[in-house]
């Protein structure tokens, strides 16, 4: 992995056979002068074969004469919090927000601190499996989490969800030019029945409305239960061009053979969906086995303590 600084842009180069260069934070940054970046990458030792970037949000009209593909995003348009709550979300989402409020959950903007990081690490290490797949931040220690969470602090705001003074969920809300992105919206599964996710999202919308931010980008538009949640809270599909520019002979070959995509991305949507379901079932089984093991370990420890106390 290489980092290349070109003007105000930070380019990260990854890959093995074919190396791809992209913005370090492509969710918040935009490429304004692609030709300068192309020339620099071709002339230095980055060894990038392809440069890729999304067109600046929310410009959907094609601006550049490069090879492009469609990238679909889940986008929530925000005019005011009241309008969102009364007109854009469905009744189920409204009930979930009301339920979270009545259960005693409090959401608020919080400053970045060691205490916040400790709470987030506790949430991340609750379970290795989330949404039917391995959670990438499970097992991270305090220093690793702090380093990652502190990136782009000047363009982000943290929102915490608390229940009885315990941090049970959070959002790192990043701000682009005229939009926001909720990074890492995660909450404790232990309190899922209290719907903290809905209240966290509601707070993010409230903050955007107060700041005059007209869009919230909630990741990619897709399928499954997560996408249904996006629909329920008012997201709509928005397509933007994603450009791929070959920087070398290998890059031109990769584009010609469509090797710039992963094997997963090249699979038909129907087959990909079936594989996702199988993966979710397998990881769910693994999670249940882990819970059973932990339960047995706790029981064994309790029996040992009882034996010691009786002796």
CATH number at residue 106: 3.40.630.30
Instruction: Specify whether 110 is located in the same domain as 187.
Output: yes
Instruction: Specify whether 91 is located in the same domain as 63.
Output: no
Instruction: Specify whether 59 is located in the same domain as 84.
Output: no
C-alpha to C-alpha distance for 145 and 81, rounded to whole angstroms: 32
* Size (the chain), residues: 311
Query: Band of the pLDDT at 32, cuts 50, 70, 90?
Result: confident
Ordered alpha helix ranges (H), the chain = 34-43, 81-83, 91-102, 114-124, 142-149, 196-211, 224-232, 249-256, 263-266, 269-310
- Higher-confidence residue: 44 or 160? 160
Instruction: With respect to residue 182, please indicate whether it lies within any of the assigned structural domains.
Output: yes
Q: What is the DSSP letter of 181?
A: E
The residues pairing with 68 across neighbouring beta strands, listed in sequence order, are: 243
Whether 280 shows a pLDDT value over 70: the answer reads: no
Interior/surface letters 291-306, b for 16+ CB within 10 angstroms, e for the rest: eeeeeeeeeeeeeeee
Q: Is 2 exposed, middle or buried (0-12, 13-18, 19+ CB in 10 A)?
A: middle
Instruction: Specify whether 44 is located in the same domain as 121.
Output: no
Instruction: With respect to residue 143, please indicate whether it lies within any of the assigned structural domains.
Output: yes
Q: Are 205 and 182 in contact (CB under 8 A)?
A: no
Instruction: With respect to residue 235, please indicate whether it lies within any of the assigned structural domains.
Output: no
Whether 311 shows a pLDDT value over 60: the answer reads: no
Instruction: With respect to residue 256, please indicate whether it lies within any of the assigned structural domains.
Output: yes
Mean pLDDT for 268-284 is 61
- The pTM of the full predicted model, rounded to 2 decimals, is 0.82
Instruction: Specify whether 106 is located in the same domain as 59.
Output: no
Instruction: Specify whether 89 is located in the same domain as 169.
Output: yes
Instruction: Specify whether 84 is located in the same domain as 157.
Output: yes
DSSP states of 245-295: EE-SHHHHHHHHTTTTS-HHHHS-HHHHHHHHHHHHHHHHHHHHHHHHHHH
Instruction: Specify whether 124 is located in the same domain as 22.
Output: no
How many domains would you assign to the chain?
3
Instruction: With respect to residue 221, please indicate whether it lies within any of the assigned structural domains.
Output: no
pLDDT score, position 286: 63
Instruction: With respect to residue 219, please indicate whether it lies within any of the assigned structural domains.
Output: no
Whether 37 shows a pLDDT value over 60: the answer reads: yes
pLDDT score, position 287: 58
- Higher-confidence residue: 306 or 152? 152
Instruction: With respect to residue 160, please indicate whether it lies within any of the assigned structural domains.
Output: yes
Whether 222 shows a pLDDT value over 90: the answer reads: no
Pull the structure tokens for residue 85: 């709550």
Range of the domain at 306: 269-311
Q: Which residue has the tokens 């538009």?
A: 221
Q: 257 phi and psi, to 5 degrees? A: -95, 5
Instruction: Specify whether 199 is located in the same domain as 148.
Output: yes
Whether 10 shows a pLDDT value over 60: the answer reads: yes
Query: Band of the pLDDT at 271, cuts 50, 70, 90?
Result: low
Instruction: Specify whether 66 is located in the same domain as 101.
Output: no
Q: Which residue has the tokens 């999304």?
A: 54
Number of CB atoms found within 10 A of residue 281's CB? 11
Instruction: With respect to residue 10, please indicate whether it lies within any of the assigned structural domains.
Output: yes
What are the pLDDT digits (tens) for 74-84? 999 999 999 99
Instruction: Specify whether 202 is located in the same domain as 113.
Output: yes
Ordered alpha helix ranges (H), 44-131 = 81-83, 91-102, 114-124
pLDDT score, position 301: 54
Instruction: Specify whether 88 is located in the same domain as 201.
Output: yes
Query: Band of the pLDDT at 52, cuts 50, 70, 90?
Result: very high
- Nearest by Cα to 218 from 182, 244, 250, 192: 182
Cα atoms in the Cβ-side hemisphere of radius 13 Å centred on 284: 8
Q: What's the chain's average pLDDT? A: 87
């Amino acid at each position: 992995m290489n980092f290349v600084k070109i003007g105000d842009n930070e380019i990260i180069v990854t890959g093995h056979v074919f190396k791809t260069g992209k913005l370090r934070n492509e969710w918040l940054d935009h490429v304004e002068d692609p030709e300068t970046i192309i020339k620099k990458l071709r002339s230095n030792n980055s060894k990038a074969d392809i440069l890729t970037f999304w067109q600046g949000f929310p410009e959907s009209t094609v601006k550049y004469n490069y090879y492009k593909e469609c990238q679909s995003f889940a986008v929530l348009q925000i005019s005011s919090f009241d309008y969102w709550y009364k007109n854009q979300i469905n009744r189920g989402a409204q009930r979930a927000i009301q339920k979270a409020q009545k259960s005693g959950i409090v959401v608020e903007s919080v400053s970045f601190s060691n205490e916040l990081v400790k709470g987030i690490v506790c949430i991340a290490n609750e379970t290795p499996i989330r949404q039917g797949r391995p959670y990438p931040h499970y097992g991270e220690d305090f220093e690793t989490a702090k380093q990652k969470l502190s990136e782009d602090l000047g363009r982000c705001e943290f929102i915490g969800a608390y229940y009885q003074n315990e941090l049970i969920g959070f959002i790192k809300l990043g701000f682009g030019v005229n939009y926001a992105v909720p990074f890492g919206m995660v909450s404790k599964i232990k309190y899922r029945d209290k719907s903290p996710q809905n209240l966290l999202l509601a707070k993010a919308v409230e903050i955007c409305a107060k700041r005059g931010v007209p869009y919230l980008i909630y990741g990619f538009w897709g399928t499954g239960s997560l996408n249904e949640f996006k629909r329920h809270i008012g997201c709509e599909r928005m397509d933007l061009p994603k450009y791929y520019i070959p920087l070398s002979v290998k890059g031109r070959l990769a584009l010609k053979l469509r090797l710039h995509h992963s094997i997963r991305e090249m699979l038909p949507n129907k087959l990909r969906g079936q594989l996702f379901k199988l993966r979710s079932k397998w990881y769910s089984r693994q999670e249940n086995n882990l819970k059973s093991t932990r339960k047995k370990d706790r029981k064994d420890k309790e029996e040992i303590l009882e034996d010691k106390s009786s002796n």
